[in-house]
Amino acid sequence: MQQLQMFHTSLHKSRLSEAMKRAQILAFSMLTAASLMTPAACSQSEDGSRSARRAITQSQAIAGDFLRTELSLSPETASRLDMEAYLGPSAIYALDNHSQAGFERRRLVRIELLQRLRQRPRLADSHPLTRDLAIAEAAIVDLIALEQLGYGRFDYVAQRPYAVDPYSGIWVEGPNLLAYQQSINSIDQAAAYIARLQSLSAAVEDTRRRLIADRAAGLDLPRALADETRQRLDLLTSDDPSALDLLSATFAALTLDLPDLEPAQRDQLIIVVQREVSERLRPALQDLSATLAENSDTASDQAGVWAQPKGQDLFVGILRASTGEAMNSDRLHARNLVDVATQSAAVRGLLVLPIADEVTPPAEPIEPPEDLGQHLSWFEQQVQSPDAVDPIDDMTEPEANIIRDLAPVTVWALVQDVPSFAAQADALTTYQSLWQSQPYLTWRTEGDGELPDYRTITAYAAIDEAWRLYVWQNSYQNTSLPPLDQAARASIKLMHSTLAAADTGLHLDRWSLPEATSYISENAGLSEPLARQLALRIMARPGFHTSVAAAYHRFETLAERARAVLGERFSESDFQRTLIQPGPRPLPFIETDIEAWYGARLAN
């Protein structure tokens, strides 16, 4: 327990007033009690014995400690989840420790936390805490296994093998956090904004040191990722007012009407922020860019993680951490290629022109282009009504917003911004909003109530994405739609499979970046610049799309099995509810839930 105790007490900030310290202790005590009382409402022991009640209390304490420890390890995560209250007022003053020492410390603290989880008291299998703590244990085991490889940035949502990449990291997530997610409603929060800003340049420098150390250890950031990161850093450090200058503009705007901040004092604080940005943060980012440029001269042209020490182990470990299940990677690439070929043929089969009138045959046969993107555009032109009016383009220039544009976005937001044709853009809009628009899909507010907060930390992003794809494919089987709209909807599954094939191609089959770019462009019907960006994102985040494909295949298998067992009693909506309602969890837990679901249906 020594590591955990030392860790939690290290959050103390000397800059807090005595009143704030007392408020922190009071808030922390109240929230700890609340977090431990939440499961108790639905956690009555079966026999009511003293030993059973003691076991429940101890398990609740472990659950609460898991939440607080993980949030303490990442104050940035606490802010993004709006859960800083669990750590007291000091949380909004701190950023994550991005140094190599911080990396090692997180690993040691998690190892000790894992020991507590494994020594938890024995509860009935039906008890909610039994399953929740088992999910937490599985997640932390997989995370520690990745951390033991000794490099990269790993958490419960995303696993990235390099200390820095073009699409995530403190270099862009720190400015984005301050510009868009840091509240300033009091003078204390204004001080917290400045404290985090002052910590940001040191965090960037820690990232630069980790990059140098990894390079010396043979952990080589591929040249393509280094060059792309450097270009984005140069854009961030430009003189554009929507870049780093936005930080001082945001501070000025949020402090304009603070009742406890005098105008003269506010002016002085704005100057402090401006100097911090210009004299420390911008130079730190420029130094990081210079280090990337130096490394790029001798960096490897190999795109996949296979070229890194223990790269194969890392890829397999990411698959396990993303799905909660060990996988054999040998056949994954072949299966992904087959999926793409099958789905591509299905999409092309929807884009067939009606048979011409035999009385007036066409002068020459009309053959669609080989390229899927051109095929889509060609079909759209062929079936377009002569009276159709082209939509009027909005000539208004979008407002420049460099920090927001550089911040991490989903693949689907990126594809939706540059659609290959209008129907696909509409389909993507529907796909993006599906999660929020269908009431029975909102797993956080279904069943017995919201999941415990500590389960929010252990999110399985790949399983989450596979859910959405499964629901999308099984909720929209309207064959009365025009062929172009059917093809647009089917192309979303095809894009998923194409990205998964590019993932295994790059990281298992040793594709080059141009090969992956060409494959994505040709099979997903996307422009080459967009396909290259997607290939770079796959380079920076290996295993994610493969994990989505693997989870989706498992859902299809479970659905097929349930249909065979239940026959006419099978309900697609109830099956989806069972998949989704208990929240993100490892595949073995999902399979157990599905088996229990159709077992109960058979019994009734």
The answer to whether residue 345 sits within a structural domain is yes
Cβ of 280: how many Cβ atoms within 10 Å? 17
- Torsions phi, psi of 153, nearest 5? -125, 115
Identify whether residues 29 and 126 lie together within a single domain: yes
Q: Tell me, what's the pLDDT at 33?
A: 39
Cβ of 563: how many Cβ atoms within 10 Å? 15
Q: Tell me, what's the pLDDT at 584?
A: 85
Identify whether residues 151 and 241 lie together within a single domain: no
Reported as a single tens digit per residue, the pLDDT across 259-268 is 889 999 999 9
Identify whether residues 209 and 147 lie together within a single domain: no
The answer to whether residue 378 sits within a structural domain is no
Identify whether residues 9 and 133 lie together within a single domain: yes
The answer to whether residue 48 sits within a structural domain is yes
Identify whether residues 234 and 349 lie together within a single domain: no
Query: Whole-angstrom Cα distance, residue 551 to residue 586?
Result: 10
Residue 154 bridge partners (DSSP)? 159
Identify whether residues 167 and 153 lie together within a single domain: no
The answer to whether residue 499 sits within a structural domain is yes
> What pLDDT band is residue 397 in, cutting at 50, 70 and 90?
low
Full domain range(s) for residue 290: 162-301
User: Is pLDDT above 70 for 358?
Assistant: no
Q: Of the candidates 157, 186, 203, which is a domain's last residue?
A: 157
Identify whether residues 106 and 178 lie together within a single domain: no
> What pLDDT band is residue 256 in, cutting at 50, 70 and 90?
very high
| Tokens matching residue 400 | 């420049």
Half-sphere exposure for 129 (CA within 13 Å, toward CB)? 30
Q: Of the candidates 125, 157, 189, which is a domain's last residue?
A: 157
The answer to whether residue 443 sits within a structural domain is yes
User: Is pLDDT above 50 for 565?
Assistant: yes
- CA nearest neighbour of 138 among 158, 156, 112: 156
> What pLDDT band is residue 17 in, cutting at 50, 70 and 90?
very low
Identify whether residues 174 and 152 lie together within a single domain: no
If you search the block for the tokens 């790059």, which residue do you land on?
506
The structure's pTM equals 0.87
Identify whether residues 181 and 282 lie together within a single domain: yes
Question: What domain count does the chain have?
Answer: 3
Q: Tell me, what's the pLDDT at 443?
A: 53
| Tokens matching residue 603 | 């019994």
- Measure the CA dihedral 343/347/350/356, to 10°: -120
Query: Whole-angstrom Cα distance, residue 485 to residue 27?
Result: 53
Query: Whole-angstrom Cα distance, residue 536 to residue 545?
Result: 13
The answer to whether residue 393 sits within a structural domain is no
- Torsions phi, psi of 578, nearest 5? -65, -35
User: Is pLDDT above 90 for 447?
Assistant: no
User: Is pLDDT above 70 for 391?
Assistant: no
Q: Which of 116-120, 330-334, 397-401 has the lowest mean pLDDT?
A: 397-401
Identify whether residues 237 and 110 lie together within a single domain: no
- Torsions phi, psi of 159, nearest 5? -120, 120
Q: Of the candidates 157, 172, 190, which is a domain's last residue?
A: 157
Query: Whole-angstrom Cα distance, residue 428 to residue 295?
Result: 38
Identify whether residues 173 and 296 lie together within a single domain: yes
| CB 382 within 8 Å of CB 352 | no
- Torsions phi, psi of 168, nearest 5? -160, 170
The answer to whether residue 382 sits within a structural domain is no
The answer to whether residue 547 sits within a structural domain is yes
| CB 159 within 8 Å of CB 234 | no
Identify whether residues 172 and 108 lie together within a single domain: no
Residue 153 bridge partners (DSSP)? 160
Query: Whole-angstrom Cα distance, residue 461 to residue 388?
Result: 41
Helices 223-236, 170-180: inter-axial angle, 10-degree rounding: 30
